[in-house]
Structure formats: C-alpha cells, structure tokens
Amino acid sequence: MPEGPLLFIEYDVTNDGQIELVALINAVEEDDQDPEGEEWLAWRATHEDEGMGCVGVSPADLKAMESTESPKELLAIVERVILADRASKEEVAS
C-alpha cells in the first residue's frame, strides 16, 4: 500500500481570499502507474498557480473522511486540510 497521499484536494483562492473547492482527486490510478500521485502532482504544478491550490490528504485525515457520515464533519476536515496547506505555503512564500 502506498505511504503517500491517496487523495488530493484541489482548490482555488479568489481575489477576495475566499477558498473554493474544485475537486477531490484519487491519486491511485486504476493501472497502478502512479500509486502515490507523484506524476499527477508534477502535472498539476504546470498549471497557472504552479500547484499552490492542491494538497495531499494524509492517511489519518483520509481515514477520518471515509469514516464519517456527517457532511458537516467531512467539510470541517476538508477545510482544516486546506487552511493548513495555505498557511504553510504562504509562510514559505514570505
């Protein structure tokens, strides 16, 4: 089983700072050609935002997402992952 992220969250940040969820991407290809999503991440980095609007979901967060049946709890997990990603990327950019 891959050790890296199996799920990626793709998001946009609007000019007024609002975060919009774009997609949840399964990093495991059906033919197991990119089991940890490295090729997908490299491709995603070629986009206009250079991959800034993309974050891998940790195995622990993925497990929490899969185990909840509450839409509010799922949203809270996604928001937390995105906000932590933005904070770390903005810190590095400073």
Q: For 28-39, how does the pLDDT look when each residue is reduced to its tens digit (9 = 90+)?
A: 665 666 666 677
Report the alpha-carbon distance of residue 12 to residue 2 in Å, rounded.
27
The answer to whether position 65 is within a domain reads yes
Within 17-70, strands assigned E span 19-26, 54-57
The answer to whether position 88 is within a domain reads yes
- Give the residue numbers spanning the domain of 49: 7-93
- Residue 51 — pLDDT band, cuts 50, 70, 90? low
Q: Is the pLDDT of residue 15 over 60?
A: yes
pTM above 0.85, yes or no: no
The answer to whether position 1 is within a domain reads no
Short-list 19, 1, 5, CA closest to 61: 5
How many domains, the chain? 1
Q: Is the pLDDT of residue 55 over 80?
A: yes
The pair of three-digit structure tokens given for residue 17, joined into one six-digit string: 């700072």
Q: Is the pLDDT of residue 1 over 50?
A: no
The answer to whether position 62 is within a domain reads yes
CB neighbours (10 Å) of residue 24? 12
> Tokens 């933005």 belong to which residue?
86
